[in-house]
Amino acid sequence: MKHLRYAGYVKRCLQNETNPSYEAKQLGIDKNTVTDWIRKYRADGYEGLKKSRGCKAYSKELKLAAIRDVLSGNHSIREATKKYHISSKSVLTGWISKYTCREEIKPTRKGKGLSHMNKGRKTTFEERIEIAQYTIANDLDYQKSMEKYNVSYTQVYSWVQKYKSDGEESLKDNRGRKKPVEELDDHDDSSFGSKNWKHGTNI
Domain boundaries, the chain: 2-51, 60-113+186-198, 115-183
Angle, helices 2-14/31-51, rounded to nearest 10 degrees: 130
Tens of pLDDT, residues 127-147: 999 999 988 887 777 778 888
Distance CA 32, CA 24 (A): 8
Tens of pLDDT, residues 59-68: 888 899 999 9
Beta bridge partners of 58: 108
Query: What residues contact residue 91 under an 8 Å CB cut-off, 6+ apart?
Result: 81
Is the pTM above the cut of 0.85?
Answer: no
Distance CA 49, CA 32 (A): 14
Other beta carbons less than 10 A from residue 162's beta carbon:
20
